[in-house]
Structures are given as C-alpha cells and as structure tokens.
C-alpha cells in the first residue's frame, strides 16, 4: 500500500461522507503508538487524530501518567474516515481500512501500543473479550505489546471512575516503556 495515496482512498463508503482522511500524526519512531476507533467531527474537519475533547482528556492523562506529550507518540485510528454521526465503524469498513493500519504498522519502530476503546482493542489483539476483561492486560502479538484501555469518550460520559481505570492502565504502559 502506498501511504501517499491514502488521501484519495475510496475502499469503503465512508469516503463519500468524510471531509478529510485522518491518517495519523507524530513520528513513526515514537516509542508509544496510540490507536483510537475513528475520527470524530473535530478530526474530520482538522485532519489530525484526537484533536477534539477526547484528545484533550487523553493527552492530559498521558502527560500526567507517562510524562509524554502528543509529539512523543504516533497517533492513529483503526478507521481513517469519520463514520456518519460518529457511529461505531462497521466490520466491512474496518476490514477495508486494515491495509492502511498494516502499512503503518510496518513503518513503526516502537513496540508498545495503547488502544482506546473496544474497536481498537479487538482490531489489535484479535480478542473478542469485553473491555472490562481486556483493559490493562498486555497482549503480545506480532512483536508488539498491546495495552487496551477505555476510550476517553467513555470517561467523558461516565466520569472519574473510568478516568481512574485509564490512569491505572497507563501505569502498565509506563512499566513497559521504562
Ligand atoms: N475518537 C477516536 O477514536 N479517534 C479520534 O481521532 C477522535 C475521537
């Protein structure tokens, strides 16, 4: 896959409603790779992942728990185009977009992956388990160590208890990076 052609991608019908292909941001050499579900409205308009409210919470937690900034991470999503009304991406959309994630994966030199939410956890670990069982437990797959945690949007909806779990999961990431 030539990543330079990603902006013209029409592999699924999300290309008909997107404003921008949100491919990824940050250095491919980053030690930590952060993977979300799909761009939201702010990302679709701004062209970079996690630049809206979820991103604000996410990167404040990463700053506090890992003393890392957005620029210290490579950030992307399982699906690179915004689903209408921010619905969960459908299985065929995830499958259509998988070669882009695979192309990114082949370029990362980092080995630690933080996934946000169930879509990213399942895509990266291959597990069908629930988030309550997946979060905070590292899974080694294809030379990557994947740590699933909740999506920051869930924390924004559900409050401090989910933030506390995310902090604990980030402590697992901290241990892997040190
Ligand atoms: N939610 C995601 O999963 N990814 C983004 O980039 C923004 C919000």
Q: Which domains does the chain have, with CATH numbers?
A: 3-177 (3.40.470.10)
Please give the pLDDT value at position 42.
98
Mutate to test the pocket of ligand 1, among 42, 121, 151, 152 (most ligand atoms within 8 A of CB): 151
Tell whether the model's pLDDT for residue 4 goes beyond 90.
Answer: no
Q: Which of 18, 44, 52 should be mutated for ligand 1, with most atoms under 8 A from CB?
A: 52
Element (H, E) at 164: helix 160-177
Among the listed residues 67, 65, 34, the one whose alpha carbon sits nearest the alpha carbon of residue 51:
34
3-state secondary structure at position 97: helix
Q: How far is the CA of 117 from the centre of ligand 1 (A)?
A: 10
CA of 35 relative to ligand 1 center, distance in Å: 8
The mean pLDDT of the chain is: 97
**Residue range 15-24: average pLDDT?**
98
Question: What does the pLDDT look like over 85-129, one tens digit per residue?
Answer: 999 999 999 999 999 999 999 999 999 999 999 999 999 999 999
Are the CB atoms for 52 and 43 separated by under 8 Å?
A: yes
């Amino acid at each position: 896959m030539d990543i330079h052609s990603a902006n013209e991608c029409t592999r699924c019908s999300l290309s008909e409603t997107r404003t921008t292909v949100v491919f990824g941001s940050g250095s491919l050499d980053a030690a930590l790779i952060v993977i979300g579900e799909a761009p939201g409205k702010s990302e679709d308009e701004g062209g970079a992942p996690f630049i809206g409210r979820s991103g604000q919470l996410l990167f404040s937690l990463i700053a506090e728990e890992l003393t890392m900034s957005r620029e210290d991470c490579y950030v992307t999503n399982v699906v690179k185009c915004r689903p209408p009304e921010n619905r969960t991406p459908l299985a065929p959309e995830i499958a259509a977009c998988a070669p882009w994630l695979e192309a990114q994966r082949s370029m990362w030199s980092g080995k630690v992956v933080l996934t946000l939410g169930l879509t990213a956890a399942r895509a990266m670990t291959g597990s069908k388990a629930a988030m309550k069982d997946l979060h905070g437990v590292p899974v080694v797959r294809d030379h990557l160590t994947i740590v699933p945690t909740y999506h920051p949007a869930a924390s924004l909806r559900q409050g401090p208890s989910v933030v506390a779990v995310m902090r604990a999961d980030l402590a697992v990431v901290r241990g892997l990076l040190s």
